[in-house]
Amino acid sequence: MKKLLGFAMAVGALFTIMSCEEEAENPGDFNLKAELTLDSIMTSTLGRSYVLEEEAVFDTAYTDTYEKRDTTFETDADGNFVLDGNGKKIPVIGGDGKYIIKIDTITFRTGKRGVYHKMKMITLESPADTFTIHLQSNAKWRAPEPVAPEGKVQWFFNYNLRTGGNSLTGNGDGHFYFRTLRNKNYARKTPVSQEIFTSDSTVMYQLNFGQAGERD
């Protein structure tokens, strides 16, 4: 799995997403280095606007992993391998009669680097609403829908105002849309992190949202 070095978040093996793509306003030159920027103002269908502000920007290095499988061998009290009459190490055999295999996960640097933009938390209003973020890019980009943790309410949905479908992918300059459910209770305890990134993951934005409640 692809991981951003130093972060507990995963960007996946770059997501394979079945969706209808938004028609590009300006596909850009895909031969150039991938770029992605977001407008500073996010608007809603109810006429609200929110400022998108950066909390931090990081240069990131990507890592990958592979499994290393080794046969387990018998050792003595000092940790030295036990040898048979031919001077060979003696493998450890399990109750099923098979060799016991030790599996280690090895992490290594891929040499691929990127820029990670962490945005400040935005608390949305309690009514159901649909939001629009305009972005500029010369590359293909993705915006996978966040999934609520098990047992939590899914209140944030990726939604395309133009097509009535989703807004998971795009090409070049375009718009990202999402909608929220009405919150009749107190403020949401579980915030949502929405990632938008170029398909090669060299530029990534993490947008963070909460939602106020009618009972606050």
Place of tokens 């493998």: 91
Q: Are strands 101-124 and 203-211 parallel, antiparallel or unpaired?
A: parallel
Residue 210: both structure tokens together: 């909460």
Tens of each residue's pLDDT in the chain, 216 residues: 444 443 333 343 333 333 333 444 444 455 568 899 999 999 999 999 999 999 999 887 767 788 888 888 888 888 899 898 888 998 888 888 888 888 888 887 766 778 999 999 999 999 999 999 999 999 999 999 999 988 899 999 998 777 777 778 898 999 999 999 999 999 999 999 999 999 888 999 999 999 999 998
Domains present along the chain, CATH in parentheses: 3-64+112-211 (2.60.40.10)
List of residues 6+ apart from 197 with CB closer than 8 A? 11, 36, 141, 142, 143, 203, 204, 205
